[in-house]
Amino acid sequence: MFFYVIFVCFLISTVQVEAKSKIKIPSWEDCGGRDAIIKVHKIDLDNPIRIGREDPIRISVNATQATPISGDSVVTIKINKNLRVLGQNLPIWVPCLNGIGSCTMTLCEIFKIHRKLVCAILESANQECKCPSEPGDYVANVNYQLNFGLFPPALLAIGNGDYSMSMKINHEDKELACMKVNVGVKFV
């Protein structure tokens, strides 16, 4: 389930502009505390992530989930498009639309909205496709085709650029996981 959240945040919600910022792209950080249940060990992704009518997204993740996580745990995703304006970094908040963008929802709600993607990730990690996910080591390598064919190319071009994403999973006021990602996206 954790992998699903990362990929959905990153892949689907990261629509950006071709603007250079001082943020290192791509980069990631496991910002969870010592007691976090989910630890991310490594993420590999293309730079920039090229999203096209025929180009699948390629991402690899290595993470560990120490104990079970409740399906009603709250996932908070914040996504900003990073623009440079007069030499200053200007983060533009990406709103939540139909479960994509800066959203707050439960793990199982995310699973329902993005089931095809979640299952691709969990199955790549040799895990059962269900919510909530089971404890264990997750090593996933995913090639996933995003369907943006209905959008005109001019509209997609506005989305090119650099993005910053943060994701936290909490249950009953306890932080279970935290992750930050900076990524470039290019619609082709």
What pLDDT score was predicted for residue 53?
63
pLDDT at 8 over 70: no
Sequence-distant (≥ 6) Cβ neighbours of residue 105 within 8 angstroms: 74, 75, 99, 113
Q: 105 or 121: which carries more pLDDT confidence?
A: 105
> Do the bridges between strand 174-187 and strand 49-51 make them parallel or antiparallel, or are there none, so unpaired?
parallel
What pLDDT score was predicted for residue 38?
93
Sequence-distant (≥ 6) Cβ neighbours of residue 34 within 8 angstroms: none
pTM of the shown model: 0.80
Q: What is the mean pLDDT of residues 137-164?
A: 78
Average pLDDT, the chain: 81
pLDDT at 129 over 60: yes
| pLDDT band, very low/low/confident/very high, at 99 (cuts 50, 70, 90) | confident
Q: Are 161 and 85 in contact (CB under 8 A)?
A: no
* Tens-place pLDDT, residues 38-79: 999 998 887 787 776 677 778 888 999 999 999 999 999 999
Q: Are 71 and 106 in contact (CB under 8 A)?
A: yes
What pLDDT score was predicted for residue 5?
43
pLDDT at 134 over 50: yes
Work out the percent of the chain whose per-residue pLDDT is above 90: 35
Q: What is the dihedral of CA 157, 160, 166, 171, to 10 degrees?
A: 30
pLDDT at 2 over 60: no
Structure tokens at 113: 């909205």
What pLDDT score was predicted for residue 12?
41
Structure tokens at 76: 């908070």
Structure tokens at 161: 């650029």
Domains of the chain with CATH codes: 2-187 (2.70.220.10)
What pLDDT score was predicted for residue 18?
35
Query: Which residue is it, tokens 């250079």?
Result: 20
